[in-house]
Amino acid sequence: MKVVFLAPHYPPEMHQYTRGLAEVGAEVYGVGDQPVGALPASLKRHLADYLHVPRMMDEDDVIARVHAWLRGREVDKVLSNWEPLVICAARLRERFGLPGMTVDQVKGFRDKQLMKERVRAAGLRVPRSARIFTATEARQAAEEIGYPLVLKPIAGAGSADTYKVEDAADLERVLKLTRHVTEASVEEYIDGEEFTFDTVSIGGVPAFMNVAQYLPKPIVARSVEWISPVIITVRDIHQPKIAPGIELGKNVLKALQMGDGFTHMEWFLKPNGEAVFGEIGCRPPGAHLVDQMNYMCDIDLFREWARVACWGHFAAKVDYKYNAAIVFKRALGQGRITRIEGREDFMRKYGRFVVEDTLLPIGAHRRDWTQTLVSDGHILLRHADWDSAYELAFKAASDIKLYAQ
């Protein structure tokens, strides 16, 4: 099994997917914009070959270079797990006549307006929405949809450039902030709790499922600096509360003709119990959510994804043992981290539940919280009881403080 894997070096978790591919017997041919000499040894040992390209986001150039590089060699798969590259991977599959999701299928997971149209056509509940290119079109769409609403990029990821808009005056403010966005979606704001529906699917049918809750909703966490965002995976995946979202998610996979691999969907649970589709990608979630799933079940989904992608088989025994909670911390102040308060006390009391602590060390520069959800590090913990996991997560969120100056 010879696999072309786009961008094995970035984002950093792609190292793990590369490892997974190698461990299930694939020869991995990596393509990336980092020079081969700069790749860490821990990654290079899993690569059979590597092509350095100057501009990873230049699809036409990447396709031409990969075509020339592979001339005379046969490959079996072309894969990518990074949102900006899923279309390029599909184009390469079509170029080489390889199995896998087509460009049209992948566009249904990449273009937010197109995905909503296809999901709506299947009779599923989606927010009212409109594709817009100009400020004038945004104003017209707002009048038709009504406030509050959400403005987001058509091909965005991770809540970047996504804003809740309260009224016409607020829309003008947001339009100034998003002048660089060339194509966007204006959609109905859904009031309610926000969850994920994550899968490793075989032919669009989940072989593994996960539901996690965002606390608070990402659109809030992305707009308020002092918040420590929390995400908790749900151990009791069969509980009635989330059943509508799981049913919705399975139907969305059918509507969008999902193939093999990871999916990451976001959905809303309204106060009346109705599940409403948000958006979906045919790639794994970021922000360490795959790590949370691994800790929840004590499995290796990096490897199991690779087994599905290469061989169409999911081998791990799935046992939902824990609710896994991640808490992303943001330092108070600007500059370098000067002190951390509350961590020693928290670890002394609850350290037996903590599986990862990646808070930035003293002296490190604070990260730009507007550009990365992982912010200034995280605490990842797990507990078999939901209420206990929730309580511990919010103790970490409130009691542990980082300061910078």
59 and 86 co-located in one domain: yes
Judge whether residue 158 has pLDDT over 70.
no
Identify whether the C-beta of residue 126 lies closer than 8 Å to the C-beta of residue 132: no
Does the residue 44 lie in any domain? Answer: yes
225 and 149 co-located in one domain: no
Q: What is the number of other CB atoms lying within 10 angstroms of the CB of residue 37?
A: 7
Q: What is the secondary structure of 259-324 as a DSSP string?
A: -SEEEEEEEEE-TTS-EEEEEEESS---TTHHHHHHHHHT--HHHHHHHHHHHS---SPP----EE
Q: What is the pLDDT of residues 23-44, one digit of tens each?
A: 999 999 999 999 999 999 999 9
Judge whether residue 154 has pLDDT over 90.
no
This prediction has a pTM of: 0.93
Q: What distance in Å separates the CA atoms of residue 8 and residue 82, rounded to the nearest whole number?
A: 9
Nearest one of 171, 104, 170 to 135, comparing CA atoms: 171
Alpha carbon separation from 158 to 266, 337, 366, 399 (Å, rounded): 11, 25, 20, 26
Report the CATH number that the domain containing residue 253 is assigned in CATH: 3.30.470.20
Judge whether residue 219 has pLDDT over 90.
no
Q: What is the number of other CB atoms lying within 10 angstroms of the CB of residue 71?
A: 7
Q: What is the pLDDT of residues 244-278, one digit of tens each?
A: 999 999 999 999 999 999 999 999 999 999 999 99
What is the C-alpha end-to-end distance of the chain, expressed in Å? 52
170 and 195 co-located in one domain: no
Q: What is the pLDDT of residues 224-249, one digit of tens each?
A: 899 999 999 999 999 999 999 999 99
Identify whether the C-beta of residue 362 lies closer than 8 Å to the C-beta of residue 297: no
Query: What pLDDT is recorded for position 116?
Result: 95
Query: What pLDDT is recorded for position 371?
Result: 83
Residue numbers of the domain that contains 59:
2-100
Q: What is the number of other CB atoms lying within 10 angstroms of the CB of residue 172?
A: 13
Q: What is the pLDDT of residues 300-336, one digit of tens each?
A: 999 999 999 999 999 999 999 999 999 999 999 999 9
Query: What pLDDT is recorded for position 370?
Result: 83
Can you give the length of the chain in residues? 405
Distance of CA 118 to the CA centre of its chain: 21
394 and 284 co-located in one domain: no
Nearest one of 275, 290, 217 to 17, comparing CA atoms: 290
Does the residue 353 lie in any domain? Answer: yes
Placement of tokens 């079109």 in the chain = 137
CA pseudo-torsion sign 34, 35, 37, 41 = positive
- Can you tell me whether residue 159 is helix, strand or coil? coil
296 and 197 co-located in one domain: yes
Q: What distance in Å separates the CA atoms of residue 371 and residue 222, rounded to the nearest whole number?
A: 9
Does the residue 122 lie in any domain? Answer: no
Largest CA distance in the chain: 61
Alpha carbon separation from 159 to 7, 154, 162, 164, 279 (Å, rounded): 22, 11, 5, 11, 11
Q: What distance in Å separates the CA atoms of residue 92 and residue 103, rounded to the nearest whole number?
A: 9
- Can you tell me whether residue 30 is helix, strand or coil? strand
Does the residue 116 lie in any domain? Answer: no
211 and 309 co-located in one domain: yes
Query: What pLDDT is recorded for position 159?
Result: 65
262 and 199 co-located in one domain: yes
